[in-house]
Amino acid sequence: MTQEANDRSPKPMRALLVQTIPQFETRERAERLAEELERLANSAGLIPVATRFFSLPKAHSGSYLGKGNLETLAAEVLEHEAELVVFNHPLTPVQQRNLEKGLVAKVSDRTGIILEIFSSRAQTREGRLQVELAALLYQQTRLVRTWTHLERQKGGVGLRGGPGETQIEVDRRLIRERIRQLEKKLETVQRTRTLQRRARQEVPFFSAALVGYTNAGKSTLFNRLTGAQVYAEDQLFATLDPTVRRILLPNGDRIILSDTVGFIRDLPHQLVAAFRATLEETLEADLLVHVVDLSDPEWADQEASVLETLRELEVGDKPMLTLYNKADRLPEESGLVARLQGRPNVLTLSAVTGDGIDGLLETLGQESRKSSRMVQMTIPSTEGALLARLCREGRVIERQDDEERIHLTLALSPIAMGRLDPCIREYGVSPTRGGVE
Ligand SMILES: Nc1nc2c(ncn2[C@@H]2O[C@H](COP(=O)(O)OP(=O)(O)OP(=O)(O)O)[C@@H](O)[C@H]2O)c(=O)[nH]1
Ligand SMILES: [Mg+2]
């Protein structure tokens, strides 16, 4: 695995990873989950030195692992010279503190790592504000110091090391104040965004949003479809800020496509909440295009957790097209592709080789057409400005000119329909009204 250079941390920390195997869970699955944690650790700019598995029927409330396991792990921390121990499970603030004491090392859970990655990736002002807010909401309850970016980003607000009791109270107050400040700032940024979004909605195009598990191939597909150069990498959470582009489909339709942050299993709800505003724009799309990495043994689980997050974001029942991506990495004899292709609203493809992209473009074209309405209008030939507007707002399917009038058949998106409502009332030819003739 490649070690991602992280130019903001002078010296990457050595991290010992901990994966427990709960009752009724197989070692195999635990290994796959541990592999994901290793990828997360790499993406966070850490050096994962080893992964330690513990069979743990039930977590201990005090130290999570229990006394015996804790001693074993403490010895391994020394042996590997680990500065940080990362648990692939949520830890309570009390557990985290006890573990830090017992292991004489910093301790983080999965959420801490994910926040760390987000913090180092956030590019836009809004993204940075959101990550900081999420991190503070997370730290509010625990006041255990995180490391690197989060620490630096805040200019030391409430994040200095080793607090005494009063220091903790001061920190709490500072954090509360900072949270209020951030919420205010975010509100302003988001108001601007809403205005920009409205301006964009003026354009009456069908819109599709790529969603999916992190590393599923959304940005690779986005780049292939739009010719854009969005950062696509074999690392978790390569994309953080949403990107929107217009594309021209082979059938002549223009549609809007967006790429955005990936989801992950057990996505910390502070992050979902903090990113709701960014995601809202994406999720207002007419169609969600769910990209799934079919070559990952955990694909079904990943697909389910994305659906779960979408439900949490209250868009669980939006129209969805599922794309099973990375089909090129499947052995031909697996039969999986054939099995999945039988399902409705499903395509299998490869964003890298381009296999199946034509089918995707065709489906997007059909969906775009489905959402538009045919309207017939007859306007006076003298209404040049109106004609120009109709051509701009919709797609002309048919046009016939006679001496005084122009007869048009237009395909209009629902948004354009709404905006052109007065014109349609005046010039529309509707069978129920017996036409304008
Ligand atoms: N073999 C193969 N690799 C692919 C395919 N699509 C994407 N990849 C690879 O998968 C990795 C992740 O791709 P991205 O496009 O960055 O994934 P993403 O869904 O945008 O990931 P995040 O932004 O982290 O959520 C990259 O190394 C891609 O080259 C595919 O169809 N086949
Ligand atoms: Mg991406």
Q: What is the pLDDT of residues 168-207, one digit of tens each?
A: 666 778 888 998 999 899 888 878 777 776 665 555 678 8
Between the CA of 217 and the centroid of ligand 1 the distance, in Å, is 3
Per DSSP bridges, beta strands 395-401 and 405-412 are antiparallel
Domain with residues 204-370, CATH architecture = 3-Layer(aba) Sandwich (3.40)
Contact 117, 44 (CB under 8 A): yes
Rounded to an integer, the average pLDDT of 98-106 is 93
Going by alpha carbons, the residue nearest to atom 14 of ligand 1 is 217
Asked whether the predicted pLDDT for residue 230 surpasses 90, the reply is: no
* Of 117, 102, 151, the residue nearest 44 (C-alpha): 117
Going by alpha carbons, the residue nearest to atom 2 of ligand 1 is 326
Out of 123, 215, 259, mutate this one to test ligand 1's pocket (max ligand atoms within 8 Å of CB): namely: 215
Between the CA of 414 and the centroid of ligand 1 the distance, in Å, is 33
Residue with tokens 């473009």: 361
Give me Rg for the CA atoms of the chain.
26
Going by alpha carbons, the residue nearest to atom 32 of ligand 1 is 326
Nearest atom in ligand 1 to the alpha carbon of residue 263 is: 25
User: For position 277, what pLDDT does the model report?
Assistant: 66
User: For position 293, what pLDDT does the model report?
Assistant: 97
Going by alpha carbons, the residue nearest to atom 13 of ligand 1 is 217
Token pair belonging to 359: 């089918």
Ranked by mean pLDDT, which of 55-69, 120-134, 143-157, 196-210 comes out on top? 55-69
User: For position 4, what pLDDT does the model report?
Assistant: 45
Confidence tier at 429 by pLDDT (50, 70, 90): confident
Dump pLDDT digits (tens) for 27-44. 999 999 999 999 999 999
Asked whether the predicted pLDDT for residue 425 surpasses 90, the reply is: no
Confidence tier at 212 by pLDDT (50, 70, 90): very high
Q: What is the pTM of this model?
A: 0.79
Dump pLDDT digits (tens) for 297-315. 999 999 999 999 899 888 8
CA 114 from chain center: how many Å? 13
User: For position 176, what pLDDT does the model report?
Assistant: 87
Q: How wide is the angle at C-alpha 298 spanned by C-alphas 297 and 300, nearest 5°?
A: 110
Between the CA of 264 and the centroid of ligand 1 the distance, in Å, is 14
CB atoms within 10 A of CB 109: 23
User: For position 199, what pLDDT does the model report?
Assistant: 62
Asked whether the predicted pLDDT for residue 416 surpasses 80, the reply is: no
Token pair belonging to 258: 């967006």
User: For position 209, what pLDDT does the model report?
Assistant: 94
Confidence tier at 287 by pLDDT (50, 70, 90): very high
Q: How far apart are CA 117 and CA 106, in angstroms?
A: 17
Dump pLDDT digits (tens) for 240-274. 777 888 888 888 788 889 998 888 888 777 777 76
Contact 79, 14 (CB under 8 A): no
3-state class of 175 per DSSP?
Answer: helix
3-state class of 212 per DSSP?
Answer: strand
Dump pLDDT digits (tens) for 138-152. 877 665 444 444 444
Residue with tokens 């009390």: 94
Nearest atom in ligand 1 to the alpha carbon of residue 291 is: 19
Contact 179, 195 (CB under 8 A): no
Q: How far apart are CA 142 and CA 156, in angstroms?
A: 16
Interior/surface letters 248-282, b for 16+ CB within 10 angstroms, e for the rest: ebeeebebbbbbbbbbbbebbebbeebbebbbbbb
Burial class (CB in 10 A: 0-12, 13-18, 19+), 87: buried
Asked whether the predicted pLDDT for residue 427 surpasses 80, the reply is: yes
The third-level CATH classification (topology) of the domain covering 372-433 is Alpha-Beta Plaits (3.30.70)
If one compares 424 and 17, the residue with the highest pLDDT of the two is 17
Going by alpha carbons, the residue nearest to atom 21 of ligand 1 is 215
Residues less than 5 Å from ion ligand 2, measured at CB: 218-219, 238-239
User: For position 1, what pLDDT does the model report?
Assistant: 40
DSSP state for residue 381 in the 8-state scheme: T
Could you tell me the CA-to-CA distances from 334 to 184, 275, 330, 338, 339 in Å, in that order?
53, 37, 7, 9, 10
End-to-end CA distance of the chain: 72
Ranked by mean pLDDT, which of 61-70, 123-132, 229-238 comes out on top? 61-70
Average pLDDT over the chain reads 83
Confidence tier at 154 by pLDDT (50, 70, 90): very low
DSSP annotation string for 415-435 = HHHHHTHHHHHHHB--GGGT-
Dump pLDDT digits (tens) for 356-389. 999 999 999 999 888 877 889 999 999 999 999 9
Between the CA of 231 and the centroid of ligand 2 the distance, in Å, is 7
Asked whether the predicted pLDDT for residue 412 surpasses 90, the reply is: no
User: For position 197, what pLDDT does the model report?
Assistant: 66
| Sign of the torsion angle spanned by Cα atoms 425, 430, 433, 435 | positive
User: For position 161, what pLDDT does the model report?
Assistant: 43
* Of 178, 195, 45, the residue nearest 119 (C-alpha): 45
Nearest atom in ligand 1 to the alpha carbon of residue 212 is: 19
Query: What residues flank ligand 1, with Cβ below 6 Å?
Result: 212, 214-220, 232-234, 236-239, 262, 325-326, 328-329, 350-352
Contact 264, 238 (CB under 8 A): no
> Which residues of the chain are in CATH 3.40.50.300 domains?
204-370
> Which residues of the chain are in CATH 3.30.70.120 domains?
372-433
Going by alpha carbons, the residue nearest to atom 16 of ligand 1 is 232
User: For position 37, what pLDDT does the model report?
Assistant: 95
Q: For the CA atoms of 337, 341, 344, 350, what is the dihedral angle to 10 degrees? A: 70
Token pair belonging to 222: 């986005």
> Which residues of the chain are in CATH 3.40.50.11060 domains?
14-115
User: For position 121, what pLDDT does the model report?
Assistant: 80
Contact 327, 299 (CB under 8 A): no
Out of 114, 121, 218, 220, mutate this one to test ligand 1's pocket (max ligand atoms within 8 Å of CB): namely: 220
Between the CA of 111 and the centroid of ligand 1 the distance, in Å, is 23
Q: How far apart are CA 302 and CA 395, in angstroms?
A: 39
The third-level CATH classification (topology) of the domain covering 14-115 is Rossmann fold (3.40.50)
Nearest atom in ligand 1 to the alpha carbon of residue 233 is: 16
Q: How far apart are CA 215 and CA 264, in angstroms?
A: 10
